[in-house]
């Protein structure tokens, strides 16, 4: 069952019912000011950091769900409604929500009155602008009351749950004309304030929540709206909100357009106030308001945003026989990559924006899907991340976006972290050809005096693995590897102890983690990422160092074959007792997804057919119609020695959930191994556009990936499998976005930036006759035409560049600003 449809021409998803199976959201803003907006206008805004600069309030995980947003209320002679249906939930005569590239349009109609609200965050603007068009489509004159609503939260958002006794008594506002200013703590230590304006005269306002809503009412029944009149209340001390009130009369056919700005302003300390020393200096806010003072200016800003997105999405554009692939690659997957790049895992409808900063591994992986869009921003990000690294190659697991400093609460010793830096730096060079990034001076632990060239960071990353091997010559597992929930050292039997940061006294003397537990996943990630480091050294003429690094990779491959090949697939780990994890010998959790893809792509044991055996085992044991489960069989008991993983009921999250992030590694691996049909099967099981038809089962947005889908074992613990199988969770902020972008564009469609040029080596469904693609790369545009006359999956028979045959399958970068034709024949 569907709840809308894709409008590919406008690059929008059009939602036709407000009662989607879950709030279906969009992100506004790509630079510093961000808003989350659901299909019923729920959500919130923040500047850079959703904890320290949260602007409006949101109530997470609440009943009913999705409480708090920017709401317009209409009281039309006693009929009270919102254009987005919620929170009043009066049945509408018409409803539609269009989520587009950085904007959302919500239109509702009731009793002949139509209200269309458009929301976006303009480029280079610290605010959300909103346009409300009210049209009397009836044959009678109409007189009604309009109320806007936003609830302020411009303080440490964490205080909302643990120190609200303070927030209850700090509220301060100012009202000037039609602008409501929020200035809590501004007199004291904050040099920033927020405001909410409308470009017309108003008939009243409210700034005090209790006066507007009423102490015993909800957002669904604000007492001011019910009374049809504002109170002109002042939130002195108490909970501050911003609500404009306006009486509107419309003749039949007449429209009224209002433009609202919800903005954020930072002021130099010496200019914070007017001459009286206490009134806010509003100059900057007034400039922002003036920028969008008319519907014409609003339209210009929106057109500029659309042009920006058209340009970004023009860098890679494909025309395949499958519309769903086209809309994922050309529109939605790239769009989601921008969002994950900006926000890492911090602020979504599943992440509070309070608990997590930017993840070291997460942000590095985000680069892989984003780097072609704005390489300069990718570069800046890679440098920010690397600046938090320790001199020995270890990493802070997270850093704060506002301060860009490593987060010591979480600390380090996640065994996979350093390797992702090698991949992100390589991806940047492959995209741009800009080798100078290796010479950039990058601090260690944010200490500028300890800065070394980026290449040094790659050295220590690589050798951090080599220098931390266990008894089988495999990398130590440490606190966790990519799988946060396999904690072979941090296991505990006491509720409340964090599996990632807890130090088990058993391993205290060894430095905090077991020197026996080893991760096969990190071993295979090392053999996958490591060759990039070797290539870089060779390019720099450092042949001796390259040979030394290559020898380490070869040794690791040998160790894997000797100690981590289980006969039909690769083991997952050795635990702290030296026992195998992810082996046929285990009672549960016999096969895990994580090490397999990287092992196949590293060609480990390929000469003995390990790649095909592993792919067959994956297909048999892990595949389902909704994607590949993480492990099988699911754990049904608590295995203390594994840490967090078996605390999840079987079928969810890391315990045999369908973790879409690492599905992509298998898609890449199957494509790499020439199994284009198998790769595409897995791709289409999870790609959002393909889940649209089953939105009632999948539940989360059909235009973006979620982190997890209930696996085939969901419900097994209580003997009710099937209920939650296929149900998506944790949409939007996940490494799935970047990795599936890599999987479809670089491995299946096979258009991959490489150190020496653009590599074209597709591994497609054999049924395809071919496809076309357009790729801007290092200053030139390539129009690529792939033909598949023999209906194979993989194999480039011949390639021409502007009609001239090319050896191999790499197009050297022309860098001439021109347009070039590439023809590829598979066979
Ligand atoms: C989640 C991660 C989280 C970790 C820590 C995992 O299940 O996937 O998002 O960081 O748990 O508990
Ligand atoms: C989500 C985390 O953000 C990511 O870093 C991790 O790899 C996965 N969960 C798997 O545990």
Among 786, 774, 771, 781, smallest CA distance to 825 is for 786
Ligand closest to CA 644: 1
Among 201, 178, 222, smallest CA distance to 80 is for 222
Alpha carbon of 114 to ligand 1 centroid (Å): 44
Give the model's pLDDT for residue 347: 94
CA atoms within a 13 Å half-sphere pointing along the CA-CB vector of 9 = 0
**Positive or negative, the Cα torsion across 567, 570, 572, 574?**
positive
Angle at 813 between CA 811 and CA 817, to 5 degrees: 125
The SS3 assignment for 489 reads: coil
Sheet of 757-760: strand order equals: 751-754, 757-760, 810-812
**pLDDT, tens digit, 9 for 90 and up, residues 606-633:** 999 999 999 999 999 999 999 999 999 9
DSSP code string of 239-283: -EEEEEEEEEEE-TT-EEEEEEEEEEEE--GGGSB-TTSSSB--H
**Could you give the CA distance from residue 26 to residue 420 in angstroms, rounded to a whole number?**
28
Residue at token pair 């025309």 = 319
Neighbours of 440 (CB within 10 A): 17
Which DSSP symbol is given to 20?
A: -
362 lines ligand 2 (CB under 6 A): yes
Give me the catalytic one of 322, 484, 566, 754.
484
The structure tokens listed for 339 are 């969002």
Whether 308 shows a pLDDT value over 90: the answer reads yes
- Res. 511 pLDDT band, cuts 50 70 90: confident
654 lines ligand 2 (CB under 6 A): yes
310-321 mean pLDDT: 98
Which DSSP symbol is given to 54?
A: B
Whether 815 shows a pLDDT value over 90: the answer reads no
**Cβ atoms 225, 80 nearer than 8 A:** yes
Burial 294-305 (b: 16+ CB within 10 A, else e): eeebbeebbeeb
**Could you give the CA distance from residue 657 to residue 708 in angstroms, rounded to a whole number?**
6
* Ligand 1 pocket mutation pick from 484, 500, 659 by most atoms within 8 angstroms of CB: 484
Give the model's pLDDT for residue 409: 84
484 lines ligand 1 (CB under 6 A): yes
The structure tokens listed for 748 are 């299946």
733 lines ligand 1 (CB under 6 A): no
Give the model's pLDDT for residue 54: 95
The structure tokens listed for 500 are 């990632």
Give the model's pLDDT for residue 290: 98
Query: Across the chain, how many H-helices and E-strands are there?
Result: 21, 41
Alpha carbon of 601 to ligand 1 centroid (Å): 26
Whether 283 shows a pLDDT value over 90: the answer reads yes
Q: Which atom of ligand 2 is nearest to the CA of 416?
A: 7
Alpha carbon of 232 to ligand 1 centroid (Å): 46
**Cβ atoms 732, 349 nearer than 8 A:** yes
**Cβ atoms 378, 432 nearer than 8 A:** no
464 lines ligand 1 (CB under 6 A): no
Give the model's pLDDT for residue 513: 94
The SS3 assignment for 743 reads: helix
Among 31, 50, 196, 181, smallest CA distance to 121 is for 31
Give the model's pLDDT for residue 493: 87
Which amino acid residue places its CA nearest to atom 1 of ligand 1? 484
- Res. 421 pLDDT band, cuts 50 70 90: very high
212-235 mean pLDDT: 97
Long-range Cβ contact pairs of 716-719 (< 8 A, separation 24 or more): 716/634, 716/636, 716/649, 716/650, 716/651, 717/636, 717/649, 717/650, 718/649
Whether 194 shows a pLDDT value over 90: the answer reads yes
482 lines ligand 2 (CB under 6 A): yes
Give the model's pLDDT for residue 336: 98
Ligand closest to CA 340: 2
685 lines ligand 1 (CB under 6 A): no
**Could you give the CA distance from residue 690 to residue 702 in angstroms, rounded to a whole number?**
8
Angle at 557 between CA 552 and CA 562, to 5 degrees: 125
> Residue 715 — φ and ψ, nearest 5°?
95, -10
**Cβ atoms 553, 545 nearer than 8 A:** no
Among 600, 514, 515, smallest CA distance to 557 is for 600
Which amino acid residue places its CA nearest to atom 5 of ligand 2? 362
Residue 650 Cα distances to 146, 368, 411, 712, 714, angstroms: 50, 31, 29, 9, 6
CA atoms within a 13 Å half-sphere pointing along the CA-CB vector of 234 = 8
Whether 97 shows a pLDDT value over 90: the answer reads yes
361 lines ligand 2 (CB under 6 A): yes
Instruction: Determine the distance from the C-alpha atom of residue 147 to the mean position of all C-alpha atoms in its chain, rounded to a whole number.
Output: 33
Burial 317-338 (b: 16+ CB within 10 A, else e): bbebebebbbbbbbbbbbbbbb
> Residue 59 — φ and ψ, nearest 5°?
-110, 105
Give the model's pLDDT for residue 491: 85
Ligand closest to CA 498: 1
**Cβ atoms 221, 88 nearer than 8 A:** yes
CA atoms within a 13 Å half-sphere pointing along the CA-CB vector of 132 = 28
The structure tokens listed for 337 are 């990559």
Cβ within 8 Å of residue 550, ≥6 positions away: 531, 534
Q: Which atom of ligand 2 is nearest to the CA of 345?
A: 3
* Ligand 1 pocket mutation pick from 343, 485, 705, 730 by most atoms within 8 angstroms of CB: 485
**pLDDT, tens digit, 9 for 90 and up, residues 629-659:** 999 999 999 999 999 999 999 999 999 999 9
Lowest mean pLDDT: which of 161-165, 304-308, 466-470? 161-165
**Could you give the CA distance from residue 807 to residue 810 in angstroms, rounded to a whole number?**
8
**Could you give the CA distance from residue 363 to residue 346 in angstroms, rounded to a whole number?**
11
Q: Which atom of ligand 2 is nearest to the CA of 659?
A: 10
Rg (CA), the chain: 28
**pLDDT, tens digit, 9 for 90 and up, residues 440-490:** 999 999 999 999 999 999 999 999 999 999 999 999 999 999 999 999 998
Alpha carbon of 595 to ligand 2 centroid (Å): 15
Q: Is the peptide bond before 633 cis (omega within 30 degrees of 0)?
A: yes
Alpha carbon of 340 to ligand 1 centroid (Å): 16
**Could you give the CA distance from residue 104 to residue 715 in angstroms, rounded to a whole number?**
37
**Could you give the CA distance from residue 94 to residue 83 in angstroms, rounded to a whole number?**
9
> Residue 161 — φ and ψ, nearest 5°?
-105, -25
**Could you give the CA distance from residue 686 to residue 744 in angstroms, rounded to a whole number?**
12
Give the model's pLDDT for residue 795: 98
**Could you give the CA distance from residue 297 to residue 261 in angstroms, rounded to a whole number?**
12
- Res. 149 pLDDT band, cuts 50 70 90: very high
Q: Which atom of ligand 1 is nearest to the CA of 345?
A: 9
Among 615, 733, 776, 824, smallest CA distance to 339 is for 733
Among 633, 635, 645, 647, smallest CA distance to 480 is for 645
What value does the mean pLDDT of the chain take?
A: 96
Whether 392 shows a pLDDT value over 90: the answer reads yes
Whether 123 shows a pLDDT value over 90: the answer reads yes
Whether 167 shows a pLDDT value over 90: the answer reads no
Which DSSP symbol is given to 288?
A: H
Give the model's pLDDT for residue 560: 98
**Phi-psi category of 154—alpha, beta or left, where left has phi over 0 and alpha has psi -120 to 50?**
beta
Ligand closest to CA 648: 1
Question: Is 484 one of the catalytic residues?
Answer: yes
**Positive or negative, the Cα torsion across 492, 493, 498, 499?**
positive
**Could you give the CA distance from residue 705 to residue 712 in angstroms, rounded to a whole number?**
19
Whether 35 shows a pLDDT value over 90: the answer reads yes
Alpha carbon of 362 to ligand 1 centroid (Å): 12
Give the model's pLDDT for residue 490: 87
Length of the chain: 827
The structure tokens listed for 463 are 């050798």
């Amino acid at each position: 069952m569907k709840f809308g449809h894709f409008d590919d021409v406008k690059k929008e998803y059009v939602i036709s019912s407000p009662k989607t199976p879950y709030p279906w959201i969009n992100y506004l803003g790509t630079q510093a000011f961000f808003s989350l907006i659901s299909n019923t206008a729920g959500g919130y805004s923040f500047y850079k950091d959703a904890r320290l600069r949260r602007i409006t309030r949101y109530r997470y995980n609440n009943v009913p769900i999705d409480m708090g947003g920017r709401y317009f209320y209409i009281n039309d002679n006693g009929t009270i409604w919102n254009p987005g249906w919620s929170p009043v939930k009066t049945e509408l005569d018409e409803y539609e929500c269009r989520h587009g590239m950085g904007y959302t349009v919500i239109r509702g109609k009731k009793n002949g009155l139509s209200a269309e609200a458009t929301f976006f965050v303009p480029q280079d603007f610290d605010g959300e602008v909103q346009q409300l068009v009210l049209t009397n489509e009836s044959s009678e004159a109409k007189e009604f009351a309009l109320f806007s609503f936003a609830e302020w939260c411009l303080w440490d958002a964490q205080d909302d749950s643990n120190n609200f006794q303070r927030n209850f008594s700090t509220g301060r506002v100012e009202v000037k004309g039609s602008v409501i200013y929020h200035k809590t703590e501004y007199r004291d230590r904050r040099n920033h304030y927020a405001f909410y304006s409308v470009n017309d005269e108003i008939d009243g306002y409210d700034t005090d929540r209790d006066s507007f809503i009423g102490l015993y009412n909800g957002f669904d029944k604000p007492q001011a709206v019910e009374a049809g009149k504002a109170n002109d209340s002042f939130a002195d001390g108490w909970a501050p909100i911003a609500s404009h009130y306006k009486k509107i009369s419309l003749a039949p056919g007449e429209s009224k357009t209002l433009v609202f700005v919800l903005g954020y302003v930072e002021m130099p300390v010496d200019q914070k106030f007017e001459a009286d020393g206490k009134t806010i200096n509003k100059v900057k806010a007034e400039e922002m308001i003036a920028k969008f003072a008319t519907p014409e200016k609003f339209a210009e800003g929106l057109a500029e945003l659309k042009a920006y997105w058209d340009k970004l999405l023009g860098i890679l554009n494909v025309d395949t026989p499958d519309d769903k692939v086209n809309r994922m690659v050309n529109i939605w997957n790239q769009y989601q990559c921008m969002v994950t790049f900006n926000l890492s895992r911090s602020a979504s409808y599943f992440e509070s924006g309070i608990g997590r900063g930017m993840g070291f591994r997460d942000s590095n992986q985000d680069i892989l899907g984003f780097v072609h869009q704005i390489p300069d921003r990718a570069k800046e990000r890679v440098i920010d991340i690397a600046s938090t690294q320790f001199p020995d190659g270890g990493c802070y697991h997270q850093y704060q976006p506002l301060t860009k400093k490593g987060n010591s609460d979480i600390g380090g010793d996640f065994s996979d972290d350093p390797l992702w830096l090698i991949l992100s730096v390589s991806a940047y060079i492959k995209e741009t050809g800009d080798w100078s990034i290796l010479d950039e001076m990058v601090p260690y632990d944010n200490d500028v005096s300890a800065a070394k060239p980026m290449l040094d960071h790659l050295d220590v990353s690589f050798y951090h693995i080599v220098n931390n091997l266990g008894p089988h010559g495999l990398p130590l597992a440490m606190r966790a590897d990519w799988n946060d929930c396999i904690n072979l050292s941090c296991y505990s039997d006491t509720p409340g102890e964090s599996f990632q940061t807890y130090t088990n006294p058993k391993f205290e003397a060894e430095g905090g983690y077991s020197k026996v537990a080893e991760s096969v996943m990190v071993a295979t990630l090392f053999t996958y990422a490591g060759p990039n480091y070797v290539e870089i050294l060779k390019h720099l003429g450092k042949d001796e160092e390259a040979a030394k690094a290559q020898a380490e990779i070869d040794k690791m491959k040998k160790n894997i074959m000797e100690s981590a090949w289980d006969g039909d697939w690769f083991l997952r780990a050795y635990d702290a007792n030296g026992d195998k994890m992810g082996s046929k010998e285990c009672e549960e959790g016999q096969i895990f997804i994580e090490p397999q893809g990287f092992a196949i792509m590293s060609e480990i044991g390929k000469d003995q057919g390990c790649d095909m055996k592993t792919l067959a085992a994956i297909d048999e044991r892990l595949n389902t119609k909704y994607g590949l489960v993480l492990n099988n069989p699911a754990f049904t008991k608590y295995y203390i020695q594994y840490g967090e993983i078996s605390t999840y009921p079987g079928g969810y999250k890391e315990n045999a959930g369908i973790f879409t992030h690492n599905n992509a590694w298998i898609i890449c691996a199957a494509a790499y191994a020439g199994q284009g049909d198998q790769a595409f099967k897995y791709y289409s099981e999870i790609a959002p556009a393909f889940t649209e038809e089953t939105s009632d089962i999948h539940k989360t947005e059909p235009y973006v990936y979620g982190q997890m889908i209930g696996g085939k074992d969901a419900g097994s613990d209580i003997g009710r499998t099937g209920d939650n199988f296929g149900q998506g969770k944790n949409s939007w902020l996940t490494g799935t976005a970047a990795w599936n972008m890599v999987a479809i564009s670089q491995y299946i469609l096979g258009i991959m930036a490489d150190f020496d040029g653009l590599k074209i080596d597709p591994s497609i469904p054999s049924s395809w006759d071919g496809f076309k693609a357009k790729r801007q790369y290092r200053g030139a545009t390539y129009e690529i035409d792939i033909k598949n006359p023999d209906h194979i999956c993989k194999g480039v028979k011949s390639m021409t560049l502007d009609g001239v045959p090319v050896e191999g399958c790499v197009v050297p970068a022309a860098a001439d600003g021109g347009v070039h034709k590439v023809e590829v024949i598979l066979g």
